[in-house]
Amino acid sequence: MQPYSVSDGVKMYSQRTAGGFSLVELIVVIGIIALLIGLLLPSLRTAREQAKAVQCASQLRQLGTGLVNYINTFRGQYPAWSGWHVAGGDGTGEDDPNPGWTEQLAPYLGAQPMSTLFNCPSFPEDFRINYFLAARYSNLVGRRSMKFSEIKLSAMFVMSGDCTEPSLYPPLFGTAAGMTLDDCDKDDASQRGIAFSNEVGGLNVHKGGNNVLFADSHVALFRKFDATSMTYHPRKMRSYADIAIDP
């Protein structure tokens, strides 16, 4: 009888191990792993989208802080809005003369218009400026900027937010004819800034809706326009269209 060796033990263990898993069992294990991955992926996507919405809200709150710093410097006057402005432009081509409101605000934010601060992380195309400035009321009363003192409903007055109105962007996402460069002076003077998915041409960039910055600097997420929580008039509860009827 030959003595039992370590190599014999290793061989026997290997044989038992090799015979311990059949091809069917291996396929079952792989299937279970694939199933678990399939169950986890939607949760991971949801968590990622929620993180983007939170980041966007944080950026808008920073924008609100910058606006407060600006009006404290300019005696209660918000930055002026005007036409189509290209960040860093010289007033020629697509760039209208004078700086856009994001350029005016830059020193009070510590961030230039082309920085990621103005770029919603959920926006579908690589446009760098995805926020707008309230201009509907001031346009109707013949001015180019708002005064802080005239805003009596600051917790409800829409000051800014996710800009989803296609006419404020060049193609391909947008419909601004003849424009190829992004506007750093987006405002809602003559068209909505926020167009929700239940409105013509609208879009909700976040899973829960669009972020809205109010005049008191708080930010909230809405799936659609809420007449009880939002207004485009500084002293009355008015929708975007209603201001033209009752300015």
- pLDDT band for position 180 (50/70/90)? very high
The top-scoring range by mean pLDDT among 8-12, 17-21, 151-155, 173-177 is 151-155
User: Cα separation of 194 and 133, whole Å?
Assistant: 10
Report whether pLDDT(223) > 50. Answer: yes
User: How would residue 11 be classed by pLDDT, with cut points 50, 70 and 90?
Assistant: low
Report if residue 212 sits inside a domain. Answer: yes
Taking residues 179-202, report their average pLDDT. Answer: 94
Contact residues for 84 (Cβ-Cβ < 8 A; gap 6+)? 94, 95, 96, 176, 179, 183, 185
* 38 assigned to some structural domain: no
Residue 125 has a pLDDT of 73
Residue 80 resides in a domain? yes
- pLDDT bin (cut points 50, 70, 90) of residue 6 is very low
Q: Is residue 33 part of a domain?
A: no
Query: How far is Cα 146 from Cα 96, in angstroms, rounded to an integer?
Result: 21
Q: pLDDT band for position 16 (50/70/90)?
A: very low
Confidence of residue 173 (pLDDT cuts 50, 70, 90): confident
Task: Provide the 10 A C-beta neighbour count for residue 244.
Answer: 12
Instruction: Show the domain range for 63.
Output: 54-245
Helix, strand and coil content of the chain, in percent to the nearest 5, comes to: 40, 10, 55
What dihedral do alpha carbons 171, 98, 131, 119 form, nearest 10°?
A: 80
In a domain, 86, yes or no: yes
Report residue 33's pLDDT band, with 50, 70 and 90 as the boundaries: confident
Does 85 score more than 80 pLDDT? yes
Confidence of residue 48 (pLDDT cuts 50, 70, 90): confident
Say what the pLDDT of residue 10 is. 44
Angle, CA of 89, 102 and 210, to the nearest 5°: 125
**pTM, two decimal places:** 0.81
| Residue 9 confidence (pLDDT) | 47
pLDDT average, residue stretch 5-10: 49
Burial class of 175 by CB neighbour count within 10 A (0 to 12, 13 to 18, 19+): middle
Residue 151 inside a domain? The answer is yes
Report yes or no on 176 lying in a domain.
Answer: yes
Domain count, the chain: 1
pLDDT band at 25 (very low <50, low <70, confident <90, very high): confident
pLDDT at site 19 = 54
In a domain, 156, yes or no: yes
- Mean pLDDT, the chain, rounded, equals 88
36 or 100, higher pLDDT: 100
131: tokens are 């926020």
